Amino acid sequence: MASLEFLVIIALLGGVLAYLVGKLSKVVGASLTVLVSGFIFVSVAYFGLNGSLDASITYLPFVSFEATDLYLGTSFGILVTFIFFMVSFFNPYFVDKFKYPSLYSMFYLFSLAGVLGVFFTDDFLVLFFFFELVVWTSLFLIPLGKSKKAASWYYGFSAFGSFSLLFAIFVMRNTAGSFNINDGLSMVGGSDQILVFILLMVAAFAKLGAFPLHIWLPKVLGNSPDPVTSVFSGGLEKLGAFVAVMGLVKLAPVGPVIEAIDMALGQYLIAILGALTIVFGTLMAIRQDDAKKLIAYSSMSNGGYILVALTLLNDTSVSGALYHVLIHALASTAAFLAIGAVNRQTGTTKMSELGGMIHKMPVTYIVYLIAIISMAGIPPMGGFVSKWLIFQSVINEGMILIAIATFFGSIGSFLYVFRPLAALFLGQELPEFRKVIKEAPFFMLLPMIILSGLNIFTGVHPSVILQYINNVLAELGVTELGITTWTLSGNNGDLYPALIAVVFGVGVVIAFIIFIVLKKSRKVDLMDTYTAGNFVYTEELLHYSVDFYAPIERLYEKHINIMKDFYKGIAKKVQEFGSFVKYFFFTNKPEITVLWVVIVLGILLLWGDLL
């Protein structure tokens, strides 16, 4: 009978303990994070699944948890604590390179406590308390990496998001009278409901990194240290998904219903923005040279999938969205961890500088392969199931444009997802890395293997997890997905994922046999080009990892950072307004105060018709 409050306190005290221990030796402090997050994950998962998490409160007076029939919160909680646990394995190996190692482990556990608090409460104020706690504790993790400015971008967007969430909370409280989430969302009506919907969507978009508010995502995920990036993309983005679920599903649809697709206007706009996120993420991912930035953009476009699916509100779409949340978390964390392992060995994640990692790091290669297969949505992996659900619902609702966008997104993911695989792992082994590189240590491989195992499991036998998601659907009031032990029933037919997996397995075995039997390929030195006859001007022309998609990129090269310049423009406007006011109000002559006194008095007398 683990009580939630006990877990939160353990996380907070664990953080402080990790800080103190970290002062003595960095690695022990970091490995403490592994223990604490492990304990929390196990207790949350075990007690959460059989619904016996008690919500009694003894120490934290203002906090009120709710654990009984809270499937949504429990499912998100289990997922995110699992991601925290997996990523914490990497902490001991990365912590010695940071400037403030003990601080890192403390804030790591603090954000874990915050995440716990967010998912398991039924009171909005408590949700906001932990939401903000996650924001500022994860804020200080970012500058440990390469860029300092990323932190202020991150805080700017997430503060904007969380403060609009706070505004929505208080608007709901005005009608509902209390901070309770369920009746807050259900009782709000009329113009307030539109305001609340918009504000919740802003918060979700800011946290998910979706289209209009996505500038910070690549900057932060690209530049912060590897464990932090995986925690961000796997765990902290899911807060945005959680708020999106509240805003889109729990809140009644907003705006007039459009007959053509019988969907509320508000939901439709969000679907469009989601589709834009997918397209924008894919286009930007294609042109990246840094593997981490590439995966960051892919997780942005996956956020778009979740949004699109949530707006359709039928059984396949919402279950597809929730399942995609799980799949994306597992796949992107595995991908980021693999890149992190490569980064730790070689020190760089630039695709143009790497190559041939497969010879020395085969396990990392396989983990990365499975992760990107799942991300691309190819059958044996989980990605296929969730994308199958989402595509079905989009087509069934008759939203052609958004369907095209989602197809473009998944095809695009074929394009950019395989490039890091080829650039980092395949190809000739670069001379300078030949001697230095060796496989990642066992404790780094363990989480990667677990994650890829899960990736496969979610693809082969999804109904176990989909069964649990059905409880969440029931709680949200959406019709449940028809599941039998081995089949999923969509709108127009059933899916036997196990059967597909078996067929794929047989195919792989056959391919392997052919590979063993037939002649091996001849090892060729990189220098002598193998193109037929004519002289190749630049040797990178055919190298798969160096701007292979240059022709596509040239299409949209010029207006890449419209949005970035837009936000930079805003920052510039605020700056100009500041110095403009400074010029008017702050000179070193005494008469400026008297001038403004006279002017304000004059205006007030005139305007207040006191004459």
Partner 1 sequence: MKNFLSLVLVLALGGMIILSLQNNQYFTAYGEVDITKRVSESYIDRDVNGGTQAVEFGVANNLESGPANIVTAIVADYRSFDTLGEVTVLFVSSLGVALLLASGKQKRLDLHFHPNFMLRVGSRALFGIILMTGIFVIVHGHLTPGGGFPGGTMIASSILLLYLADDNFRTKVKSFKTLESIAGSLYVIIGLVGLFAFDYFLVNFLDNGILGELFSAGIVPIVYALIGLKVGSEISGIIDNFLTEEVA
Partner 2 sequence: MSAVLLIAIPILAAFISIIVKKWSPYMLLFVSFGLVILLGYLPFEIITIGGFSAPYGISLVVDNYSYTALYVVNVLFFLVAIINVCNYKKLGTILLVSLAGLNGLMLTGDLFNLFVFLEISGISAYIITTTNKKPLATFNYLVAGTVGSILYLLGLIILYNMFGTLNMQDMAVRIAASGATDIEVALPFLLMFIGIGVEAKLLPFNSWVKGILGHSNKLTGPMIAGVYAAASLFVFGRLLTEVFVISDTFMLIISVILAFSILAGEAMAYSSTKVREILLFSSIAQAGIAVLIFVSGFTGYAVLFISLNGFSKVVLFLIINHATEVVGSDEVIDLKGLFVNNKLVGASFTATVLSLLGLPLFAGFFVKMGILSQLFSSGDYVFPAIILLSSVVEGVYFVKLLTKLWYKEDNLPQVKFELPLVYLVVVISLLLVVFGLYFEPLHEQALVLVNHVKGVIL
Partner 3 sequence: MLLYAAIILMMLGLYGILTQRNIIKIIISLNILEIGLNIFIISIGFVNGGVAPIFTGQNNLGSIGFVDPLPQALVLTAIVIGVGTTALGLALAKKIYAKYGTFEIDDMKGAE
Angle, helices 362-376/400-420, rounded to nearest 10 degrees: 170
Q: Is 388 helix (H, G, I), strand (E, B) or coil?
A: helix
What residues numbered 119-148 form the site for partner 1, per CB under 8 A?
Answer: none
605 contributes a contact to partner 1 by CB under 8 A? yes
Q: How far is CA 484 from CA 93, 379, 488, 601, in A?
A: 43, 19, 7, 77
600 binds, among partner 2, partner 3, partner 1, none (CB under 5 to 8 A by kind): partner 2
Rounded distance between C-alpha atoms, residue 287 and residue 302, angstroms: 17
Stretch that binds partner 2, among 167-175, 227-235, 328-336, 365-373 (CB under 8 A): 167-175
> Quick check: 228 and 138 in contact, CB under 8 A?
yes
Stretch that binds partner 3, among 17-25, 314-322, 350-358, 594-602 (CB under 8 A): 594-602
Q: Which helix (H) or strand (E) holds 591?
A: helix 591-607
588 contributes a contact to partner 3 by CB under 8 A? yes
Cβ proximity to partner 1: between 411 and 598 the closer is: 598
Q: Which residue has the tokens 């104020």?
A: 125
601 contributes a contact to partner 1 by CB under 8 A? yes
Q: How far is CA 333 from CA 139, 219, 222, 351, in A?
A: 19, 17, 14, 19
- Least gap, CB of 611 to partner 1 (angstroms): 5
Q: Which residue has the tokens 């950072």?
A: 561
* Positions of E strands within 202-256: none
CA-closest candidate to residue 318, choices 252, 389, 374, 257: 389
- Least gap, CB of 436 to partner 2 (angstroms): 25
Q: Which helix (H) or strand (E) holds 490?
A: strand 488-490
Stretch that binds partner 1, among 413-421, 454-462, 504-512, 594-602 (CB under 8 A): 594-602
> Quick check: 406 and 272 in contact, CB under 8 A?
no
Cα distance between the two ends of the chain: 74
Cβ proximity to partner 1: between 550 and 601 the closer is: 601
Number of residues that bind partner 3 (CB under 8 A): 8
Q: Which helix (H) or strand (E) holds 503?
A: helix 497-517
Residue 583 burial (C-beta neighbours within 10 Å; 0-12, 13-18, 19+): exposed
531 contributes a contact to partner 3 by CB under 8 A? no
135 binds, among partner 3, partner 2, partner 1, none (CB under 5 to 8 A by kind): partner 2
Rounded distance between C-alpha atoms, residue 236 and residue 583, angstroms: 42
> Quick check: 143 and 205 in contact, CB under 8 A?
no
Rounded distance between C-alpha atoms, residue 109 and residue 10, angstroms: 9
Rounded distance between C-alpha atoms, residue 604 and residue 599, angstroms: 9
Burial of 435-445, coded b for 16+ CB within 10 Å and e otherwise, reads eebeebeeebb
Rounded distance between C-alpha atoms, residue 316 and residue 302, angstroms: 17
Task: Retrieve residue 423's tokens.
Answer: 């650039």
581 binds, among partner 3, partner 1, partner 2, none (CB under 5 to 8 A by kind): partner 2
Q: Is 281 helix (H, G, I), strand (E, B) or coil?
A: helix
Cβ proximity to partner 2: between 125 and 498 the closer is: 125
Compute the residue count for the chain. Answer: 611
Interface pick for partner 2 out of 148, 359, 434, 554 (rule CB under 8 A): 148
Cβ proximity to partner 1: between 46 and 585 the closer is: 585
166 binds, among partner 3, partner 1, partner 2, none (CB under 5 to 8 A by kind): partner 2
576 contributes a contact to partner 2 by CB under 8 A? yes
- Least gap, CB of 174 to partner 1 (angstroms): 39
Cβ proximity to partner 2: between 128 and 425 the closer is: 128
198 contributes a contact to partner 3 by CB under 8 A? no
541 contributes a contact to partner 3 by CB under 8 A? no
Interface pick for partner 3 out of 20, 594, 605, 606 (rule CB under 8 A): 594
- Least gap, CB of 591 to partner 3 (angstroms): 5
Cβ proximity to partner 2: between 513 and 581 the closer is: 581
Cα 590 from chain centroid? 54
Stretch that binds partner 1, among 189-197, 414-422, 441-449, 593-601 (CB under 8 A): 593-601
Rounded distance between C-alpha atoms, residue 476 and residue 386, angstroms: 19
- Least gap, CB of 94 to partner 2 (angstroms): 17
Interface pick for partner 2 out of 1, 99, 438, 514 (rule CB under 8 A): 99
Cβ proximity to partner 2: between 114 and 303 the closer is: 114
Cβ proximity to partner 1: between 528 and 591 the closer is: 591
Q: Which residue has the tokens 């219903």?
A: 257
Task: Retrieve residue 386's tokens.
Answer: 């969730």
Say which residues have a Cβ less than 8 Å from residue 185's Cβ, sequence separation at least 6. 172, 196, 246, 250, 251
133 binds, among partner 3, partner 1, partner 2, none (CB under 5 to 8 A by kind): partner 2
Interface pick for partner 3 out of 252, 598, 604, 605 (rule CB under 8 A): 598
Cβ proximity to partner 2: between 195 and 552 the closer is: 195
606 contributes a contact to partner 1 by CB under 8 A? yes
Q: How far is CA 278 from CA 322, 334, 413, in A?
A: 17, 21, 10
Interface pick for partner 3 out of 493, 590, 608, 609 (rule CB under 8 A): 590
- Least gap, CB of 577 to partner 3 (angstroms): 22
What residues numbered 99-118 form the site for partner 3, per CB under 8 A?
Answer: none
Neighbours of 499 (CB within 10 A): 12
| DSSP designation for 438 | -
- Least gap, CB of 60 to partner 2 (angstroms): 8
Neighbours of 580 (CB within 10 A): 10
Interface pick for partner 3 out of 533, 591, 610, 611 (rule CB under 8 A): 591
The pattern of x and - marking residues 400 through 439 that bind partner 1 according to CB under 8 A reads ----------------------------------------
611 binds, among partner 2, partner 3, partner 1, none (CB under 5 to 8 A by kind): partner 1
> Quick check: 402 and 484 in contact, CB under 8 A?
no
593 contributes a contact to partner 2 by CB under 8 A? yes
Q: Residue numbers of the site for partner 3 (CB under 8 A)?
A: 588-591, 594-595, 597-598
**List of residues contacting partner 1 (CB under 8 A):** 595, 598-599, 601-602, 605-606, 610-611
Footprint on this chain of partner 2 (rule: CB under 8 A)? 61-62, 99-100, 125, 129-130, 132-133, 135-136, 139, 143, 148-149, 151-152, 155-156, 159-160, 163-164, 166-167, 170-171, 173-174, 574-579, 581-582, 585-590, 592-594, 596-597, 599-601, 603-605, 607-610
